[in-house]
């Protein structure tokens, strides 16, 4: 395009010279000469204007030329400011994201067996690497240190109190009481002969056996009667157990003595070598099974993950309401994240342009808009010629 515009300027120069030389012989060539002369003026003026944007014309230090290289930083800041305030806004980002069905696209993708299988395979491929990272000695020391630091400020007694409160609110403690009663009744039933034998062994030799049997029967009846009474939901035994549970919960919450004892017990258990050895043994066994399963062609974990992802995708496809809520959440989150960081994005644009050298900036902009600028030169040549022709006609008329 630059060669075309320059060639048109050269053509007008040739036409101008030829018309001037032949004008004495053919007077009408004055119109051609006026057109060509004005066309050259328009072409040269527009060439100067276009060139002055990107460099100094002919390398001359003319004021207000090489506008883009000299104002590179200001152009970058203006462009960044324009981008920040006209593109990265709540309204524009929200409108652009409104047409995207994030949840539906993800659900359709996951619902395909080949995709859910690919996700499951990738996850299982990462299991051995993750386990190797966890086994690293430095990482283990770091994790143990963080766990120890976290446990230092933990009060176990209030935690136990909250757990027991939740259990009591759901009546689980009474269910536990009932289970204990049934365990006691079963133990009693399975050990009747042993109880009879113990009574007989503890009785004097001279005491008749019938008295032993009566003592045994009375003891058994008393125990069974007490257990039957305990089974009653309104029994005094249950009421006492209720009061004892509430009192124990209150002591866990308020008693420094209980708190110190429980904290000491928990920390003693956690620090005990036997407990640590047991945890390590369990961990090694779990790790071996995970690694073996991950390497197996018929991995059960991979199959379960694949099925889980596929089910999630299928269920999500059927639930338009959940899709709508997920999409809304993603849009809100994405909008907030992008808009909150629009200053950062704009600064990135300004920093990148600031790092470019002046020649790079001029070259990039000229490559993007240079074609249209060369059309300005071409139009300037033609329009200038027509204006010159018009002025020549007017001067002759005057």
Structure tokens at 44: 């040269």
CA–CA distances in Å: residue 334 to residues 106, 337, 393, 395:
16, 5, 65, 67
381-393 as b/e: b if 16+ CB within 10 A:
beebbebbbeebe
- Hey, what long-range contacts does 139-142 have (CB within 8 A, 24 or more apart)? none
CA distance 176 to 182: 10
Q: What is the residue-level pLDDT of the chain in tens, covering all 398 positions?
A: 888 888 988 999 999 999 888 888 888 888 998 899 999 999 888 888 887 877 777 777 777 777 777 777 787 788 888 888 888 888 888 888 888 888 989 999 988 889 998 988 888 888 888 877 766 666 666 666 666 666 666 777 888 888 888 888 888 878 888 888 889 888 888 888 887 787 777 777 766 777 777 887 888 888 888 888 888 888 888 888 888 888 888 888 888 887 888 888 877 877 778 877 787 787 778 888 888 888 888 888 888 989 998 998 899 888 888 889 999 999 888 888 888 888 888 888 888 877 777 777 777 777 777 677 788 888 888 888 898 889 889 988 88
Structure tokens at 236: 């005094």
* Cα dihedral 49, 55, 59, 65 sign: positive
Q: How many CB atoms lie within 10 A of CB 221?
A: 10
- Measured in degrees and rounded to the nearest 5, phi and psi for residue 140 equal -60, -45
380, exposed or middle or buried, with CB in 10 Å at 0-12, 13-18, 19+?
A: buried
320-339 as b/e: b if 16+ CB within 10 A:
eeebeebbeeebeebbeebb
CA distance 275 to 283: 12
This prediction has a pTM of 0.47
* Cα dihedral 85, 90, 93, 99 sign: negative
- Alpha helix ranges (H) inside 319-357: 320-340, 342-355
CA distance 227 to 376: 106
């Amino acid at each position: 395009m630059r060669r075309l515009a320059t060639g048109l300027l050269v053509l007008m120069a040739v036409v101008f010279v030829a018309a001037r030389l032949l004008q004495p012989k053919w007077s009408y060539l004055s119109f051609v000469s006026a057109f060509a002369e004005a066309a050259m003026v328009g072409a040269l003026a527009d060439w100067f204007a276009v060139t002055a944007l990107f460099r100094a014309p002919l390398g001359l230090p003319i004021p207000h030329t090489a506008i883009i290289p000299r104002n590179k930083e200001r152009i970058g800041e203006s462009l960044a400011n324009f981008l920040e305030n006209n593109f990265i806004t709540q309204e524009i980002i929200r409108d652009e994201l409104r047409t995207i069905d994030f949840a539906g696209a993800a659900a359709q993708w996951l619902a395909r067996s080949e995709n859910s299988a690919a996700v499951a395979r990738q996850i299982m491929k990462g299991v051995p690497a993750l386990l190797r990272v966890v086994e690293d000695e430095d990482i283990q020391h770091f994790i143990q240190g963080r766990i120890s630091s976290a446990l230092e400020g933990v009060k176990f007694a209030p935690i136990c109190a909250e757990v027991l409160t939740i259990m009591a609110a759901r009546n689980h403690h009474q269910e536990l009481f009932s289970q204990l009663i049934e365990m006691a009744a079963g133990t009693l039933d399975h050990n009747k002969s042993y109880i009879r034998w113990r009574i007989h062994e503890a009785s004097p030799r001279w005491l008749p056996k019938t008295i032993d049997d009566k003592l045994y029967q009375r003891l058994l009846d008393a125990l069974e009667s007490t257990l039957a009474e305990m089974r009653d939901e309104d029994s005094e035994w249950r009421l006492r157990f209720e009061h004892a549970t509430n009192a124990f919960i209150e002591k866990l919450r308020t008693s420094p003595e209980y708190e110190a004892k429980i904290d000491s017990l928990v920390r003693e258990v956690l620090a005990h070598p036997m407990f640590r050895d047991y945890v390590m043994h369990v961990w090694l066994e779990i790790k071996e099974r995970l690694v073996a399963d991950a390497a197996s062609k018929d991995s059960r974990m991979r199959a379960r993950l694949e099925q889980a992802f596929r089910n999630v995708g299928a269920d999500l496809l059927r639930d338009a309401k959940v899709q709508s809520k997920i999409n809304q959440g993603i849009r809100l989150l994405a909008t907030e994240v992008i808009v909150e960081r629009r200053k950062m994005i704009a600064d990135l644009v300004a920093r990148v342009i600031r790092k470019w050298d002046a020649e790079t900036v001029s070259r990039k902009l000229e490559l993007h808009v240079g074609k249209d600028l060369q059309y300005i030169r071409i139009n300037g040549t033609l329009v200038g010629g027509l204006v010159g022709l018009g002025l020549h006609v007017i001067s002759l008329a005057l």
